[in-house]
Amino acid sequence: MSEHTYKIVELAGSSTQGSDEAVRNAIARAAKTLRNLDWFEVVETRGHLVNGKIAHWQVKLKLGFRMED
Amino acid sequence: MSEHTYKIVELAGSSTQGSDEAVRNAIARAAKTLRNLDWFEVVETRGHLVNGKIAHWQVKLKLGFRMED
Amino acid sequence: MSEHTYKIVELAGSSTQGSDEAVRNAIARAAKTLRNLDWFEVVETRGHLVNGKIAHWQVKLKLGFRMED
Amino acid sequence: MSEHTYKIVELAGSSTQGSDEAVRNAIARAAKTLRNLDWFEVVETRGHLVNGKIAHWQVKLKLGFRMED
Amino acid sequence: MSEHTYKIVELAGSSTQGSDEAVRNAIARAAKTLRNLDWFEVVETRGHLVNGKIAHWQVKLKLGFRMED
Amino acid sequence: MSEHTYKIVELAGSSTQGSDEAVRNAIARAAKTLRNLDWFEVVETRGHLVNGKIAHWQVKLKLGFRMED
Amino acid sequence: MSEHTYKIVELAGSSTQGSDEAVRNAIARAAKTLRNLDWFEVVETRGHLVNGKIAHWQVKLKLGFRMED
Amino acid sequence: MSEHTYKIVELAGSSTQGSDEAVRNAIARAAKTLRNLDWFEVVETRGHLVNGKIAHWQVKLKLGFRMED
Amino acid sequence: MSEHTYKIVELAGSSTQGSDEAVRNAIARAAKTLRNLDWFEVVETRGHLVNGKIAHWQVKLKLGFRMED
Amino acid sequence: MSEHTYKIVELAGSSTQGSDEAVRNAIARAAKTLRNLDWFEVVETRGHLVNGKIAHWQVKLKLGFRMED
Amino acid sequence: MSEHTYKIVELAGSSTQGSDEAVRNAIARAAKTLRNLDWFEVVETRGHLVNGKIAHWQVKLKLGFRMED
Amino acid sequence: MSEHTYKIVELAGSSTQGSDEAVRNAIARAAKTLRNLDWFEVVETRGHLVNGKIAHWQVKLKLGFRMED
């Protein structure tokens, strides 16, 4: 962060592969519509279980991006 | 949550009736403009007092909805 | 807050002057595009250091504004 | 809150009816001795169980009231 | 709590009616298999949304019960 | 704190000037009626917005003072 | 807690002997002026050091007492 | 913890003597029915007051024990 | 979660491979004795170090499963 | 933070002037002995009171600095 | 704390005797190498169990000491 | 932890590969200068974004190591 103002949005990404991949998926989706993405923070890691196995990893994260002046 | 990405927004609803009604009011307002609402979480319950009685219950909540792909 | 629903957004403002000024800068930026701003809460105060001095104060805050009915 | 100073006290109300009623009971008791009550915040919701049923809902709350100048 | 040892279990109850009813449902289910239930504490209140309305209130709670000596 | 017992009260001060001034205002008000004030801790910093500007900074703080023996 | 309203105050007790004794000292001081004391909760344990040894244990606690109807 | 899986249970022990003794009492009770106890963590320290004195110290703790393979 | 009651247990899994694998190991162990596993949440990630390297990743998680009616 | 490792230390600075100045004083002291200071985060704001006025503002902060490779 | 800067370090002490003794042991060890120790705060209390009994109490604490100017 | 005193330091590691690798990098750096490393705990997971992708994963962790007697 320099002299600008940043907006922070909260997303939840999911993946069948693992926790890091759930983060990457959420960021990839956000990058389709948001510019100037600057940082993320993991808020919560959880998942959905089916038949005693992890069906989806689900990670909540906050994303900060610089607002246009 | 399945394989999609979800966005989470924070709202504060109010009601003269009670805490659950304040949650319902915020969700009803959100449903006017957001599709694919999936879950909510209560973040804070408070209220405004007038003449020693509760004038409004005020409940902050987070709302998760599925983003279009 | 009266009988309306409020939306809460999270911003990070910055300033070379101090922590209060970083809050004011974020609110000034938000006021360009959001109407009916009602309250703010400071979430985190931090900053960036260059050559052993504070280059920017950075303050995360939440902003509540009344949604149009 | 305007330009005044407010004092915040912590109470625990109870009710056999439900959580909202426990809040109302605590506020009604406070209003007997405190003037200028302005807001409350719920801090904790719990209860006492007898024979597998809720005997009392117990809600801790903070109450803010304006101090006389 | 007197001179005994208590065990604390965590449950999540649900209801289509409201948050208090979700608490009562979880306690009713627990009372089928646990004796000497003594207190509960609400840990989290959330819910599932379908078509822009609350389909189920979901409340996590902790339940304390006295262990047999 | 030495060998005495201290009482801790919670206040919310306000100021049109800034966050530190809101702390000073609350302490000045408390000092009118409490003796032996010893320390304070900031609990929350927020404010009220009017026309896109900060109308009042509002700071919650805890105040510790030594009880007479 | 039964059907009454309880007030909760925060104190900090101290002792040269240990943490439990600091709790007992604060309660003994409170019992001089408050009736119907019902429960306490430890909020923080800390202490003051002099010459590399503990001069005073200092324990913050909350005290609940039943309000007269 | 080595390569095994551990289960964590939550208990509340009590004692008329002090906070450490309440921990020991809860562990002694647990050890009657659980094997392979490995660690504990204190979660909360509180107590019940009668006639202005501590009748029981009550300590909530988590207990970890190794699950049989 | 639908209209059922869920029980939540806390486990700590371990792995020499990484944090996700520690989660999977704990779930695999739980699935041997618990049916209807529905979700998990990561509570804490830590590990044991030997000779300056990670010997075991250790992850605490909560597991929710539907109780039989 | 780029590809390096950072160390984080905790300090408490003080000032008779205000909370921002207490932060600056702690950083100035740290800069005498630590190189490559990169960021700070405010952890706690408190102060010491004498005769009903603030004698010192005291701010705890964390300081991150890049470790030499 | 007066006008100086303080550094805060985190330690974990242990004792076979009890929680207070674990604090004293950590402080005694710290006092061998650190001067001007001023205060401590307990961060976490836990312990290691062997054969169903407490083998060691383990207490994490923060220690503040005045930095030389 | 056995009968010794442990010191706990806070680091932030980074990696272009993933969150676990950022932990390993920080530990590898620490092991160059600290002996008797015993455990770590993850405190925060975040990262820096460039062009809509993760440039660096950044993980804050605490490291405990046994102090020489």
pLDDT tens track for J6-58: 999 999 999 999 999 999 999 999 999 999 999 999 999 999 999 999 999 99
SS3 K23: helix
Q: Does E11 touch chain D (CB under 8 A)?
A: no
Q: pTM of the predicted model, to two decimals?
A: 0.96
- Cβ pair J22, L30 in contact under 8 A: no
SS3 K17: coil
- Cβ pair J46, F40 in contact under 8 A: yes
pLDDT digits (tens, 9 = 90+) for F14-68: 999 999 999 999 999 999 999 999 999 999 999 999 999 999 999 999 999 999 8
Structure tokens at F58: 């509002």
Q: Does D7 sit within 8 Å of F9, measured CB to CB? A: yes
Q: Does A11 touch chain L (CB under 8 A)?
A: no
**Nearest CA distance, D50 vs chain B (angstrom):** 26
What number of C-beta contacts closer than 8 Å exist between E and H? 38
**Chains touching L by CB (3 or more pairs below 8 Å):** A, I, J, K
CA F31 to chain centre: 10
**What integer pLDDT is reported at residue H69 of this predicted model?**
76
Which of chain F's residues have a Cβ under 8 Å away from the Cβ of D62? 10
Among J16, J26, J48, the residue with its CB nearest the CB of K5 is: J26
Average pLDDT estimate for G19-43: 97
Q: How far apart are CA D7 and CA F21, in angstroms?
A: 17
Q: Does A23 touch chain L (CB under 8 A)?
A: yes
For residue G27, give the H/E element and its range: helix G19-31
Q: Does C13 touch chain A (CB under 8 A)?
A: yes
Which of chain D's residues have a Cβ under 8 Å away from the Cβ of B48? 38-39
Residue B66: pLDDT band (50, 70, 90) is: very high
pLDDT digits (tens, 9 = 90+) for K17-41: 999 999 999 999 999 999 999 999 9
Which of chain C's residues have a Cβ under 8 Å away from the Cβ of J40? 46-47, 49, 54
Residue E52 DSSP class: T
Q: Does H62 touch chain G (CB under 8 A)?
A: no
Structure tokens at L1: 């932890």
Q: How far apart are CA B47 and CA B59, in angstroms?
A: 8
Q: Does D13 sit within 8 Å of G5, measured CB to CB? A: yes
Which has the higher per-residue pLDDT, D69 or K10?
A: K10
Among H3, H7, H69, the residue with its CB nearest the CB of I14 is: H3
Average pLDDT estimate for L11-29: 98
Cα–Cα nearest to I54, from H5, B39, L63, L32: L63
Q: How far apart are CA K42 and CA B35, in angstroms?
A: 48
Q: How far apart are CA E28 and CA D49, in angstroms?
A: 11
Q: Does F27 sit within 8 Å of J53, measured CB to CB? A: yes
**Nearest CA distance, J37 vs chain C (angstrom):** 6
- Cβ pair E14, E58 in contact under 8 A: yes
Q: Does F8 touch chain D (CB under 8 A)?
A: no
Cα–Cα nearest to J1, from C56, A8, L55, A5: L55
Q: Does A57 touch chain I (CB under 8 A)?
A: yes
**What integer pLDDT is reported at residue L45 of this predicted model?**
98
Q: Give the β-pairing of C6-15 and C53-66.
A: antiparallel
Angle (CA) D34 D37 D39, round 5°: 140
Residue of G nearest to H20 (CA): G20
Above pLDDT 70, what percent of chain C? 96
Q: Does K4 sit within 8 Å of J56, measured CB to CB? A: no
Q: How far apart are CA L61 and CA J65, in angstroms?
A: 14
* CA F12 vs CA C65, D3, F19, F41, F58: distances in Å: 22, 10, 11, 12, 6
Q: Does K48 touch chain H (CB under 8 A)?
A: yes
**What integer pLDDT is reported at residue L68 of this predicted model?**
87
Determine the residue type at F17: Q
Q: Which residue has the tokens 């205000």?
A: J18
**Chains touching J by CB (3 or more pairs below 8 Å):** C, F, K, L
Q: How far apart are CA G58 and CA F39, in angstroms?
A: 14
Cα–Cα nearest to D8, from F8, F45, C69, I26: F8
CA C7 to chain centre: 14
State yes or no: chains D and G have 3 or more CB pairs below 8 A.
yes
Q: How far apart are CA L69 and CA L57, in angstroms?
A: 36
Cα–Cα nearest to L68, from L34, L28, L31: L34
Q: Does A30 touch chain B (CB under 8 A)?
A: yes
Residue H49: pLDDT band (50, 70, 90) is: very high
Q: Which residue has the tokens 């009971």?
A: D25
**What integer pLDDT is reported at residue G4 of this predicted model?**
92
Q: Give the β-pairing of E6-15 and C37-50.
A: unpaired
| ipTM computed for the complex | 0.95
Average pLDDT estimate for D18-29: 98
Which of chain K's residues have a Cβ under 8 Å away from the Cβ of H40? 46-47, 49, 54
Q: Does A45 sit within 8 Å of I39, measured CB to CB? A: no
What number of C-beta contacts closer than 8 Å exist between J and K? 39
**What integer pLDDT is reported at residue I69 of this predicted model?**
76
Among C19, C30, C40, the residue with its CB nearest the CB of F47 is: C40
Q: Does H26 sit within 8 Å of E5, measured CB to CB? A: yes
Q: How far apart are CA L49 and CA L55, in angstroms?
A: 5
Q: How far apart are CA K24 and CA K40, in angstroms?
A: 10
Q: How far apart are CA A63 and CA B16, in angstroms?
A: 35
Among C20, C49, C53, the residue with its CB nearest the CB of J39 is: C49
Q: Does K52 sit within 8 Å of H27, measured CB to CB? A: yes
**What integer pLDDT is reported at residue C31 of this predicted model?**
97
**What integer pLDDT is reported at residue A1 of this predicted model?**
43
Q: Does G6 sit within 8 Å of D56, measured CB to CB? A: no
User: Exposed, middle or buried by CB within 10 Å (0-12, 13-18, 19+), for E21?
Assistant: middle
- Cβ pair H46, E39 in contact under 8 A: no
**Nearest CA distance, F48 vs chain G (angstrom):** 28
**What integer pLDDT is reported at residue K1 of this predicted model?**
43
User: Exposed, middle or buried by CB within 10 Å (0-12, 13-18, 19+), for K36?
Assistant: middle
Which of chain H's residues have a Cβ under 8 Å away from the Cβ of I25? 5
**What integer pLDDT is reported at residue F68 of this predicted model?**
87
State yes or no: chains A and K have 3 or more CB pairs below 8 A.
no
Q: Does D7 touch chain B (CB under 8 A)?
A: no
SS3 I18: coil
Structure tokens at A23: 């983060």
Above pLDDT 90, what percent of chain B? 93
**What integer pLDDT is reported at residue B62 of this predicted model?**
98
Greatest alpha-carbon pair distance for chain H in Å reads 51
Residue of I nearest to H3 (CA): I14
Q: How far apart are CA A45 and CA E59, in angstroms?
A: 20
Q: Does C20 sit within 8 Å of F57, measured CB to CB? A: yes
Among H3, H6, H10, the residue with its CB nearest the CB of I11 is: H6
Q: How far apart are CA D2 and CA F14, in angstroms?
A: 7
What number of C-beta contacts closer than 8 Å exist between H and I? 38
Q: Does B16 sit within 8 Å of C5, measured CB to CB? A: no
Q: Does E25 touch chain I (CB under 8 A)?
A: yes
Q: Does E8 touch chain H (CB under 8 A)?
A: yes
Q: Does L7 touch chain J (CB under 8 A)?
A: no
Average pLDDT estimate for G1-22: 92
CA E1 to chain centre: 19
Residue of E nearest to I38 (CA): E12
Average pLDDT estimate for D25-29: 97
State yes or no: chains H and F have 3 or more CB pairs below 8 A.
no
Q: Which residue has the tokens 């996700």?
A: I20
Greatest alpha-carbon pair distance for chain K in Å reads 51
Structure tokens at A69: 């002046």
What number of C-beta contacts closer than 8 Å exist between E and I? 37
Q: What is the DSSP string of E9-45?
A: EEEEEEESS-HHHHHHHHHHHHTTT--SEEEEEEEEE
**What integer pLDDT is reported at residue F69 of this predicted model?**
76
**Nearest CA distance, H12 vs chain G (angstrom):** 14
**What integer pLDDT is reported at residue A69 of this predicted model?**
76
Which has the higher per-residue pLDDT, I45 or E1?
A: I45
Q: Does E49 sit within 8 Å of B40, measured CB to CB? A: yes
**What integer pLDDT is reported at residue I1 of this predicted model?**
43
Cα–Cα nearest to B58, from J41, C1, J10: C1
Residue E1 predicted with pLDDT over 50:
no
Average pLDDT estimate for G33-60: 98
For residue G69, give the H/E element and its range: none
Average pLDDT estimate for E1-28: 93
**What integer pLDDT is reported at residue B58 of this predicted model?**
98
Residue B1: pLDDT band (50, 70, 90) is: very low
**What integer pLDDT is reported at residue H6 of this predicted model?**
98
Residue of G nearest to H43 (CA): G42
- Cβ pair L46, L55 in contact under 8 A: no
Among I19, I20, I37, the residue with its CB nearest the CB of A52 is: I37
**What integer pLDDT is reported at residue D69 of this predicted model?**
76
